[in-house]
Structure 1
Amino acid sequence: MKSVSSDASSREEIGDFNAILQEVGPRGWFQLKNIVLLWSSSAALGLSALLFAFVAFVPKYRCPVTECSEGPGSPYYGNQENQTLPNFLLDAFDPENIGDNIAKCKQYKFLDESDPLSCFDYVERLQSNLSEANLTYCAKEDLIIDRTYAQTTLTVDFGFVCEYEFLRDFYNATYMVGMLFGAFIFGIVSDRWGRLNALLSAAAMLFVCGILAAFVTIPELYGMLRFLIGMAGIGSYMSGYLLGLESTTPKYSVQVGMALSLGFVWGALLLSLIVFLIRDWTTLHIVATAPISLMIFLKWLVPESPRWLIAKGRISEAKVIINSIADFNGRPHPNHLYRVEQKKKAKSFEIGEEGETLTIGVLVKSKTLFFRTAALSMQWASVTMAYYGITFALTSFAGDPYLNFVLGILSEIPSTAYVFFTLDFFGRRFMTVKLQILAGISCILAGFCMEYEQFRSFQIVFAMIGKFSATCLFAVVYLYSAELYPTAIRNRAMGICSTVARLGGLLALLLGALRSFWPPFPLLIMGGIATLAGLVALTLPETTGIPLPETKQDAVAIRKRGGNFKLFGCNNGHD
């Protein structure tokens, strides 16, 4: 691998970009404007990722009692206001065990009767001779659907019911597979053709595929579009995140990064409003996708990243944007920094202190970095699994699924402030351990609440605690990982962790299929993994107050140095 360093003469027309940003303002009105506009890129991810929870909402359904003149169009409840079953079912079965007697896709039939039974005779025989009845499957087309929360749903229209209910989770998982490929593909597009072009192309792809998905009637085609939506969603988020982050200095990168991530929450809240007003899945798909079309205006409102332009040698374009940043922030143009003659070669951090070329292979060669990467990968996988697992489980909890979803999203808003004000106080390692274990215990308790009727009202409480913990963890783990790797391989090492995170999210969606065996199963598994990840995090070194490692030796020595961090003390983060 060739070193990224080069003679300063190759950049003779412009000086150090961080110094220029410091001159024109690293945290001013321009950066604030960028953050607000680029919220759309992460909001698009929130809309597209979480839309499936309502498009493919799983309603209650049961077989019709044909003896009592029920058919596919009959109401699910006898009393819709109180949500009580028809009287003939309440008369036929013990009220305490009626849920066990009314199977989703099976019905009781007395096969010894040559003539059809009347409703009265059928109920009477169920009361006196239930053991003589045979459980037989009814056709999927004949199912009676509960339309309380959704008039139409992809789950019913595509036949993901009864023995095929598990297919819903597999089609949902195609989104996460798309994110795996999208992170790689749009990463290349962003580096080669620019952050803004990558963002606009991802937004266009997201809009087109989202609209097309509303009209497809073939499940396999919807799965392909869901895969492409996943690619575009992460492409939009990554490109917008880089655009915002590269407009400030490293000192403010944490604050800017956390502010940019709030866009995901705004997108989820917008989705909450849309799904509350629209209960038809096709219309919902169109309306939830439509706002993404507004991202086309970013072409004229957000400039290309000056860092990227400088890296590509497009100095004159970079100067125009730098001057516009200065104007927006009310600072003078940094003309005195545009021409800098440096005779020394820039220090290369791809060469180790012993003269070896530093590559991603060092993560395997170095025992310390290998085990560190394994521990961090588990943190990324666990937090992604907990976040998406809880989010998609919210609509299946007791109570109103729309209210549950909104409460879960609202629990994310204070997470940014909490991390911002407590991370240096508690430290990276303690925060990671605490939040992982808290998320794990919350998942486990929410799972057990599903099993016991008297505790079901507490489901949403534990889910909100778990969601809050997982959201905090995303910010903590991202920063923590950056502080544990040397400069030359930092982005690539975090790319490995990010890939593992997508696999964790994929597993979370696939675990949903286990609900058919035992409803609490997915949450219990995710809770156990999160708790274990918290214990594994104890093996990681503390990085609060320690400068970013530049070389392999710096990274390995973090555990030995330990820094001046004091738990529950006043600690100053590095720049």
Structure 2
Amino acid sequence: MEYESVLKEIGGFGRVQKAIFLALSFTSFKAVLDLELMVLTLHESKFRCAQQNSSDYVAQNYSEHCRISRLVGDDTNFTLINETCTKFDYQHGDVISKSMVEEYNLVCDRKHYATGMMSVFFLGCALGMLFGTLGDKIGRKKILIVCGVTDLITTILPAYMPTAETQIFARFLKGFPAAVYYQGLLIMEEMTEEKHRAVLGNLYWLFWCVGYMFSGVVVYIFKEWDKIQLFSTVFCLNYIVIFIVVPESPRWLVLKGRVEEAVDVLKRIAKWNGIKWEHKVSKVKALDVEEEPTGNILDLVTYPEMRMKSIVIFFNLAMFAMCYFGLSTDTTFITTNIVLNVLLNGAVEIPSSFIGWLGSDRYGRKYTTVIITVLSGFCLIAVPIVPTGGVYNIVKAVVAMVGKCLLTTGYCIADVWAAEIFPTSVRNNGLFLATTLAMLSNIVAPVINTLSDVATFLPGLIFGITSIVSALSLLLLPETKGLPLPETVPSSEGLVRGRERQWAIETFSRERAQSLLDDDDMEAVNSQRTIKQKPMEETTIA
């Protein structure tokens, strides 16, 4: 008996799965809120040297000044001496009345502290993702609990840091709970019937888009960075719901040989879905699943096909992340108004979830991702080339929004696609190692944005070319649309480009394969007569 059949019997996407989906999706709302609030409160407003209040100094307008001229001598015999500014006056705008830049004087020779805060945040995210790989050993639910508690502590901590150095350390710690929203995606993949995964995997990030836009609203209302930081702790209340509602993944429990616990979880899900399932418990207990040795990172490189697929996934998620977060940390990517910029950036990502769902569900993961990511690359290259002024500003904004929407769509599908390619025994290891490398690539994203000081077109050129190259490499991966999740690394070796349908026939029961393939596919596979007949295991976790 197959695991997918059990999910269908208890309600493949019943009301309990919907409640779990909402609770877990909210973690992505909180994650992007933390990132964008940091980016917005690090926005640099106009400033000038505070020394100008003395009559000895030459007056300055509000603009970027790191040095000031001082008059030395009397009215008839004087000289001008350039001095380095040590104190600054800031021009408060309508959006933020007190930013972290003002709090810690992160301008001039201290400007690198602001870039450093964002970079170490992503470093913390990378280490947090490594922690997420323990989910294959200790369970998905335990990772959620640890990340939830850590997120609450590290959300409060930055508001009370006295210096820029301690703030950098706090931002580093703030990155650790990043594993929580990817862990949530994994649990949803493993608790939901196969036919719903594409839509859920893409709609999972809808809350991310809402959180993106909401960060602008929070900044506009509270205006001071420390109050903004403390307000964001309110959204940690969602973890209480997660701890109560979200169970351990029954698929993981079965693979660990803990069938009795899996049965209890499945019974609760069936009960909450209003399905009388007790008489079918014996079927789950009859699953003859050997206790799998927990997968490890070496499994990803030991087998040739798994090694190739892993390398392509690692490279692509890293490039997606670098480009995406490079644009997300640029407060003037679409418009110079930072609140309007973040609202538009978040708004253009809302269609990406639906485009990703419809495209991947109808045309498959592979070609949908490749085409839209290549198009996004050309848009990103074009944005800095479009002239400014008049109607060109509208053209520039439209091209930027289209590019960001397409890039986000590709990123959404790639996450779901990767989770479907990695077998269950190493899914946590594979996906979290990929996201760890992605977070490490994010460290350079804020640095790439600073290259605009050298030439305005450089960041867009780098992000655009990277998107195109990474998209083309995706052609090496197999299509996973309509296929069950592979269970182990050896069984996934046959899942390669061009042989997806044959793999379904060879690996799963014929009845199951017929439910996946249409008549033409079945006839084509049968006519090839290349499928080796081998005894099927009586129980397979699909």
TM-score of the aligned structures, taking structure 1 as reference length: 0.75
Give, in angstroms, the shift of residue 423 of structure 1: 1.9
1:489-508 superposed matches below 5 A? 489=426, 491-508=428-445
Conservation of the 8 A alpha-carbon contact between 2:318 and 2:437:
yes
Which residue, 14, 21, 24 being the options, matches 2:10?
24
Distance 2:489 2:140 in 1: 28
1:524 and 2:461 correspond: yes
Give, in angstroms, the shift of residue 249 of structure 1: 2.9
The 1:56/1:116 distance shift into structure 2, 3 A limit, reads farther
Q: Counterpart amino acid of 1:59?
A: S
Give, in angstroms, the shift of residue 411 of structure 1: 0.9
Instruction: Indicate the residue corresponding to 2:266 in structure 1.
Output: 322
1:439 and 2:376 correspond: yes
Which residue, 119, 123, 126 being the options, matches 1:180?
126
Give, in angstroms, the shift of residue 209 of structure 1: 1.6
Conservation of the 8 A alpha-carbon contact between 1:395 and 1:402:
no
Which residue, 496, 499, 503 being the options, matches 1:558?
496
Which residue, 351, 354, 358 being the options, matches 1:421?
358
Distance 1:150 1:204 in 2: 30
Q: Secondary structure at the match of 2:192?
A: coil
Distance 2:413 2:472 in 1: 16
Identical-residue share of aligned pairs (%): 23
Give, in angstroms, the shift of residue 229 of structure 1: 1.3
Conservation of the 8 A alpha-carbon contact between 1:433 and 1:534:
yes
Which residue, 110, 114, 117 being the options, matches 1:171?
117
Which residue, 376, 399, 406 being the options, matches 2:313?
376
The 1:458/1:385 distance shift into structure 2, 3 A limit, reads farther
Conservation of the 8 A alpha-carbon contact between 1:209 and 1:229:
yes
Across the aligned residues of Structure 1 and Structure 2, the Cα RMSD in angstroms comes to 4.0
Distance 2:289 2:264 in 1: 27
Give, in angstroms, the shift of residue 257 of structure 1: 2.5
Which residue, 93, 96, 99 being the options, matches 1:150?
96
Deviation string, structure 1 residues 249-300 (Cα, Å, up to 9, x no partner): 3343333332333232232233232112121111111112222134224333
Q: Secondary structure at the match of 1:394?
A: coil
Instruction: Indicate the residue corresponding to 1:5 in structure 2.
Output: none
1:233-272 superposed matches below 5 A? 234-272=178-216
Which residue, 75, 79, 83 being the options, matches 1:115?
75
Conservation of the 8 A alpha-carbon contact between 1:62 and 1:144:
yes
Give, in angstroms, the shift of residue 223 of structure 1: 1.6
1:104 and 2:65 correspond: yes
Distance 1:299 1:324 in 2: 15
Distance 1:315 1:484 in 2: 25
Give, in angstroms, the shift of residue 394 of structure 1: 3.2
Instruction: Indicate the residue corresponding to 2:526 in structure 1.
Output: none
Q: Secondary structure at the match of 1:468?
A: helix
Q: Secondary structure at the match of 1:421?
A: helix
Q: Counterpart amino acid of 2:161?
A: V
Instruction: Indicate the residue corresponding to 1:471 in structure 2.
Output: 408
Gaps of 5+ in 1: 1-14, 77-101, 119-132, 351-356, 565-570
Distance 1:112 1:457 in 2: 50
1:161 and 2:107 correspond: yes
Q: Counterpart amino acid of 2:28?
A: S
Which residue, 169, 172, 176 being the options, matches 1:231?
176
Which residue, 240, 260, 278 being the options, matches 1:296?
240
1:61 and 2:47 correspond: yes
Conservation of the 8 A alpha-carbon contact between 1:151 and 1:279:
yes
Instruction: Indicate the residue corresponding to 1:33 in structure 2.
Output: 19
Q: Counterpart amino acid of 1:258?
A: N
Distance 1:315 1:544 in 2: 29
The 1:560/1:471 distance shift into structure 2, 3 A limit, reads closer
1:134-145 superposed matches below 5 A? 136-145=82-91
Conservation of the 8 A alpha-carbon contact between 2:348 and 2:404:
yes
Distance 1:215 1:147 in 2: 24
Give, in angstroms, the shift of residue 434 of structure 1: 1.9
Instruction: Indicate the residue corresponding to 2:164 in structure 1.
Output: 219
Higher Cα Rg, which structure = 1
Distance 1:520 1:144 in 2: 29
The 1:519/1:378 distance shift into structure 2, 3 A limit, reads same
Greater Cα shift, 306-315 or 318-327: 306-315
Instruction: Indicate the residue corresponding to 2:330 in structure 1.
Output: 393
Give, in angstroms, the shift of residue 75 of structure 1: 8.2
Instruction: Indicate the residue corresponding to 1:87 in structure 2.
Output: none
Distance 2:81 2:501 in 1: 68
Give, in angstroms, the shift of residue 426 of structure 1: 3.6
Give, in angstroms, the shift of residue 439 of structure 1: 2.2
Deviation string, structure 1 residues 129-185 (Cα, Å, up to 9, x no partner): xxxx97945414134434343211112322221133232112111111111111122
Deviation string, structure 1 residues 202-252 (Cα, Å, up to 9, x no partner): 2222122211211112222212221221111x1321333334333223343
TM-score of the aligned structures, taking structure 2 as reference length: 0.79
Conservation of the 8 A alpha-carbon contact between 2:372 and 2:410:
yes
Give, in angstroms, the shift of residue 528 of structure 1: 2.1
Deviation string, structure 1 residues 510-548 (Cα, Å, up to 9, x no partner): 323434434443333212211222333345455556666
The 1:141/1:515 distance shift into structure 2, 3 A limit, reads farther
Distance 2:76 2:152 in 1: 53
Q: Counterpart amino acid of 2:164?
A: P
Which residue, 193, 200, 205 being the options, matches 2:145?
200
Conservation of the 8 A alpha-carbon contact between 1:275 and 1:284:
yes
Give, in angstroms, the shift of residue 115 of structure 1: 2.8
Gaps of 5+ in 2: 503-515, 522-541
Instruction: Indicate the residue corresponding to 1:363 in structure 2.
Output: 301
Distance 1:208 1:227 in 2: 13
